[in-house]
Every structure is written in C-alpha cells, then in structure tokens.
Structure 1
Amino acid sequence: MQINFHKFLCAICLLTTTLIAGCSGGGADTPKLGQVSGTITLDGQPLTQASVTFQPQSGAPSVGMTDASGKYELAYTPDTKGAIPGQHTVRISKMGEPGSPNDTEDQVPAKFNQNSKLTAEVKEGENTVNFDLDSKAK
C-alpha cells in the first residue's frame, strides 16, 4: 500500500490543529475567523501539492494544500474553514514525490518554510492572499 505523502502531511497538520483547538476549548469557543484563500506560484509556475500553514502570533495555526493550479483554502479545523484574524507567519512546503530519490527533501527553499519571513495579515471576512515565490531572490 502506497501512502500519498502530501495528503498524509496535510492530515497530520489538520489533526494537530484539531488537537490544539480541542485543548483550548474548541467547539463553541471557536474564535471569529477570516476566510483565507489564494494562489501560490514558484518561479512563475503554480506550486502544486504544497502545504500552506498560517501561524498566528497566538492561537492555533490554519493549514491548507494547494491544488493543480496552485490554489489553496485554509482550514482552522477539519470542519471549520478560516484563520484567526491578525498577523501570521506563513510557511509553504512541498516534499518530493513519494518513492522518488528526493521524497524527503522540501522542494521549496527554506526561506519560505522553516526559515520563513513570509507574513500575512488576516482580517474578518474574505481574504485573498497570493504568494509569487522566487527561488533565486535573496
């Protein structure tokens, strides 16, 4: 049985978010959320099957996964779309294809994930947050 690593990673992120939200009260105590979607490109091409994480300064993160055209939508929990309003650090990551020689290497430069300086402001209501990443820019 072959596991799709990208779906597995997204499931782990959503599970972690759910557990964090559950530990902080969750359910009826879900904070007001802004709906967040957008498109991510890397070097001018849609970034497909990438994990997107918005980490607020305090509270649970929201996560999403890009589709074939680089579009994503954030989820606060598996059943609730959105992100906490406020300033967020954004991390974008994409692992190599399962079974390939680079399946454990992130295909996105570290400056956009573990060393990310990407930020976004989420407001209540609809938010469109696009990222046009350039792997060669400093």
Structure 2
Amino acid sequence: MPRKRPHILLATLAIAAPLLGCGGGDELDRQPISGSVTLDGQPLESGLITFDPASNQSITSVATEITQGEFSFNRTNGPVPGEYRVVINSAGSTGVEPGAGEAPGDTFIPPAEELVPKKYNAETTLRATVEAGDNPPIVFELTSG
C-alpha cells in the first residue's frame, strides 16, 4: 500500500489558496449602480455598457449587458468611486442568413452593424460619476442624430 505524503498535500494547498481567493471578490471599494439606456426615446433592446476610468480615482474598467434598456452592477462587479468615460455598443442583425445545407464557415457573414452612433462608443462623449454609497440610477438618453 502506498505511503501517504501529507507534506505534499499541505504544500499544494498553500500554493493554491491565494489563487482561489475567498469567494468575496477583490478588495476594491466597488459600488452597486444601475440605470437605463434609450436610443431615440426607445429602450435599447440589448447591448453592452462599459465604464472606463477617466481619472486617477477610478482604477478599473467594468462592463455589463444592457437588456430591455436596463443595466446594473452589483457590489461584486461594480465600478469603484470615480469619474468614468462610458461606452455603449449594440449590434444589430447582419441581414445574412446561412443557406440551407451549408456547413459552418462556408458563407462569409459580415459583422453586425453597430446601432449606436460613434459619439457613444468609438468616439464617446458620455461621462458618469460614481460616488461611494448610494448612487441614483444613471440615465443615458442617446439620439441617432
């Protein structure tokens, strides 16, 4: 019968423990925030909203999905207090359907068209401030024009 080696088990646990963490996220002062996004007065059906640091106060980017015009971050995945540059993307349909009997990859499908104007993503002018504590919902009213 093989001899058990407890020192190998203890060494493995000592190495793995810091990598596993405590399950409570990082040590950043993350804030739960929520809000809404409309495009031309209608809720943005789906998309992605990203908060990129715009100052030295905020130290990490965060992103989440927009669903039926709503987004939210909880305390585990939210931004830290600070100023942010906000990027909003929403891809529409490509308008191209693969033909019947075609194998995947046989047909070139162009990238989906971005529904949100560049001034809200590639050339964003959107900004947001996240405070420590309670934050009111953040509302982004986008226009196509």
Q: Give the TM-score normalised by structure 2.
A: 0.64
What does the per-residue CA deviation read over 1:51-74, in whole Å, with 9 as the maximum and x for residues that have no partner?
A: 000011352211111112x01013
Distance 2:131 2:29 in 1: 10
Secondary structure of the residue that 1:50 maps to in structure 2? strand
Task: Give the letter for the 1:60 counterpart.
Answer: T
Task: Give the letter for the 1:45 counterpart.
Answer: Q
Corresponding pairs, count: 106
The reply to whether residue 95 of structure 1 matches residue 91 of structure 2 is: yes
Tell me: CA distance 1:34–1:107, structure 2 relative to 1, closer, same or farther (3 Å): same
The reply to whether residue 37 of structure 1 matches residue 64 of structure 2 is: no
Q: What is the root-mean-square deviation in Å for CA atoms of aligned residues?
A: 2.3
Which one has a larger percent helix, Structure 1 or Structure 2?
A: 1
Give the one of 45, 48, 69 matched to 1:48.
45
Is the CA contact (8 Å cut-off) linking 1:89 and 1:119 kept in structure 2?
Answer: yes
Which one has a larger percent strand, Structure 1 or Structure 2?
A: 1
Q: For structure 1, which runs of at least 5 residues remain unmatched after alignment?
A: 1-21
Distance 2:80 2:65 in 1: 18
Among the aligned pairs, what percent are the same residue? 33
Q: Give the TM-score normalised by structure 1.
A: 0.67
Task: Give the letter for the 1:123 counterpart.
Answer: E
Distance 1:42 1:74 in 2: 21
1:7 aligns with none
Tell me: CA distance 1:36–1:72, structure 2 relative to 1, closer, same or farther (3 Å): same
2:66 aligns with 66
Q: For structure 2, which runs of at least 5 residues remain unmatched after alignment?
A: 1-18, 97-109
Larger Rg: 2
